[in-house]
Structure 1
Amino acid sequence: MSCPSLHILGSPGLGGAERFFIRLVNALAERHEGIGVALRPKSPVARFLHPNVAVHPVPMVNGWDVWSVLRIRAVIRRIRCPVVQTYMGRATRLTRVPRDAGAVHIARLGGYYKIRGYYTHAHAWIGNTKGICDYLIRNGLPAERVYYIPNFVSAPPPVPEETLKTLRATWRIPEEAWVVLSLGRFVPKKGFMDLLSAFSRLPRSIAGRPVVLVMAGDGPQRDELKRHSETLGLGPYVRFVGWQEDPAPFFALSHVFVCPSRHEPLGNVILEAWSHAVPVVSTETVGAGELMAEGGTGILTPVSDPVAMARAIQQLLEDAGLRRELGENGLKTVTERYSKDRVLGHYADLYEKLVGSCPS
């Protein structure tokens, strides 16, 4: 079904949720005409959108911005899209689809957010994990209008060896080094302090090869993390490479990926690592636990347990067979369950089901 749709995002930054928004909107724009977005005027998301995506600026200053409510209603009336899909609390709270617009409002959630006052007015809801869907139903949303559609990651293109050589030279990573990679926003809930503590417990070389930790990301905790790294004596072994709009070369360079989060509803970065066939060590958050429930795709460790995390990283670096097995199983899981074609098919089916059926 070719279904025009308007996608509304009110966050100001560029993190994992925004990166998935970009992937989904661009994938829809590659297949269908009439894909639009409503974003804050200076949103960095706009720089990465497909040329065919129409961008409608809306202030969305906060969750009580009445002017933005009226602006969004005007956009919906003007473009007449049958599907209006909102992301996270602010955009959803501000989106009030006019009854005469003939559009269905779908709220997509990637976290355990406050429901009442923010989401209850939508016509249908998407959770990107089964746990989130259960949470929505427990909070009073009708089960028959709650849908599970996971995130997807696109198959990464091969990274040229010359790019990897440049990366090693730029960041002073010896060619023979083991590379442990982690990425995300530098905020406490992402657990990067725990990762540094775990890394400090590793031998400085394993099987005769030095071990380097690459931390890709940025955020309010950046300087604190750097200071903690120096305090632990890790300065020569940790590379803070900043926020990476395209982390694919770093995944291609790495031997183990670590997701150290203290709270993680899903874990997009785990899917990205799997798409590169990189074995994963993750804390046992709700999202990671669901992704790796069947085992054989990674190693789960308790949240905020650097000792267990260090043990798991070392086990993978010492065991080539286990690294290969977990990497291959992760790639197979992404291909079979979290591919772009599969997830876009779910969205197409849902749009076809809901268009014309929204309550008046």
Structure 2
Amino acid sequence: MNATLRQGPAPVPPAAGGLRVCHIIDTLKYGGAERQFVSILNAMPVAKKFAVVLRDQGQPGFAAQLAPEITLRRSFMRVRSSPWQIWRLARWLRRQRIDVVHTHMFWPSLYGTLAARLAGVPVVVTTDHGIGAWKRPRHHWLDGQLIGRAADLRFCVSGHIARMLHERCGVPARKLQLVVNGTEVPEPVSVGERPVVRIGTLGRMVWQKDFRTLIEAAALLRDWGLPFELCLLGDGPQRAELETLVRQRGLGGQVSMPGFQSDVDGWLRRFDIFALSSVEEGQPVSLLEAMARGLAVAATRVGAIPATLRDGQEGLLVRPGSAAELAEALGRLCTDADLRRRLGEAARERVLREFSSEALARRYLAVYARLYARRGGGDAFPASARTEQG
């Protein structure tokens, strides 16, 4: 049985702006889910916004990207296994008179939904940003029996994630809703022709991103005599292995790996092409950022990528794990400036229409208001009428 995925609701009613909304995440490491966490909160037009980071980890300065009106609370979970931490979080939520708790990813959803219910928060929702290949049967049970019951609604950034939650974890289809990611859309920057085409990518150096295949594709481009540079932004457990592969393929002159970089948009401006070689994805935030920058994209057909980037319209799609197909797509883009320009412009226009942070924030807010009204909250101006407890 497939999960029934409902589309986004109608435009948000004005009264929803009176809600007090708290988003909860594990850390502020510079990943896709974390960038969504920041951009959604920044764009959300509500009375009061709170950000809770369960563990005080992450890149220095990332928290500074939160808008100044957002109240940030850190380090509730020093030890994940301590039930006392859930009670502390519940007590804080009650004191802040939170109307909506919105959690991101597995551990924040487990602790955040339980704390929200203990605190009597009217609306509790989660966003699942990936399938969580690391999960064991006990995690799937917790996903279905605890998070699935405590949450009013589970947002999923791809149909694959929703089907997994329904079929493997037992989350009812009525509690699953497909939602797209969003990104800020920068002003376009005119870049002249370069003598060497610059290909870039961004992500953690883990097996899911399959940077090995991208490096093998780069070796083919080199063998075909195409002038290019490839930049792999990010860090992770596979970095040393990937550096060794670059040396083995003799790509030291074409491939650079500058590590983690916080100024994503600044780096995207340096690229002509964005490459995505993942074998497992939800809806990659890095893809949306590249599209918003107007880059031509070659990506694999996994997760929600084909629904985001249509083959031949906003980019080129290839089979995951195929260095030959990826090299062929990148080669087309390297040798055809008109194709790069046409695909990049179409990609940017699609992000403006469908995937902006503002549009996503309004979709979420419309759901908050509907769920709050269903709980008996009336006109979604509850905070001023409720008395502080605890």
Give the TM-score taking structure 1 as reference length. 0.88
1: distance between equivalents of 2:255 and 2:166?
A: 43
- Matching residue within 149, 163, 186 for 1:156: 186
2: distance between equivalents of 1:66 and 1:99?
A: 12
Inter-CA distance 53–247: structure 2 relative to 1 (3 Å threshold): same
- Matching residue within 148, 151, 162 for 1:133: 162
Corresponding residue for residue 323 of structure 1: 340
Give the TM-score taking structure 2 as reference length. 0.81
Inter-CA distance 136–295: structure 2 relative to 1 (3 Å threshold): farther
Corresponding residue for residue 195 of structure 1: 214
Corresponding residue for residue 168 of structure 1: none
2: distance between equivalents of 1:104 and 1:89?
A: 18
Q: Match of 2:218, as an amino acid?
A: F
**Mapping 1:66-105, distance limit 5 Å:** 66-95=83-112, 96=114, 97-98=116-117, 101-105=120-124
Residue 180 (str. 1) matches residue 199 (str. 2): yes
Q: How many Å apart are 1:205 and its aligned residue?
A: 8.0
Secondary structure, in 3 states, of the residue corresponding to 1:202?
Answer: helix
2: distance between equivalents of 1:22 and 1:341?
A: 12
Corresponding residue for residue 23 of structure 1: 39
Q: How many Å apart are 1:194 and its aligned residue?
A: 1.1
Counting matched residue pairs gives: 344
**Mapping 1:161-310, distance limit 5 Å:** 176-203=195-222, 210-293=227-310, 295-310=312-327
Secondary structure, in 3 states, of the residue corresponding to 1:152?
Answer: coil
Corresponding residue for residue 141 of structure 2: 116
Which digits, 9 at most, give the CA deviation of each residue in 1:56-75, with x for residues without a partner?
22342465331221121111
Q: How many Å apart are 1:358 and its aligned residue?
A: 4.3
Gaps of 5+ in 2: 1-15, 133-138, 377-390
Which digits, 9 at most, give the CA deviation of each residue in 1:314-335, with x for residues without a partner?
0111122321221122112111
8 Å CA contact 1:60, 1:90 repeated in 2: no
2: distance between equivalents of 1:206 and 1:282?
A: 22
Corresponding residue for residue 3 of structure 2: none
Range with greater deviation from structure 2 (53-62 or 277-286): 53-62
CA RMSD, Structure 1 to Structure 2 (Å): 2.4
Inter-CA distance 160–33: structure 2 relative to 1 (3 Å threshold): farther
Inter-CA distance 204–256: structure 2 relative to 1 (3 Å threshold): farther
Q: Match of 2:141, as an amino acid?
A: R
Secondary structure, in 3 states, of the residue corresponding to 1:116?
Answer: helix
Range with greater deviation from structure 2 (285-294 or 146-155): 285-294
Q: Match of 2:327, as an amino acid?
A: A
Residue 32 (str. 1) matches residue 30 (str. 2): no
Residue 42 (str. 1) matches residue 72 (str. 2): no
Gaps of 5+ in 1: 165-173
Q: Match of 2:126, as an amino acid?
A: A
1: distance between equivalents of 2:219 and 2:188?
A: 32
Secondary structure, in 3 states, of the residue corresponding to 1:352?
Answer: helix
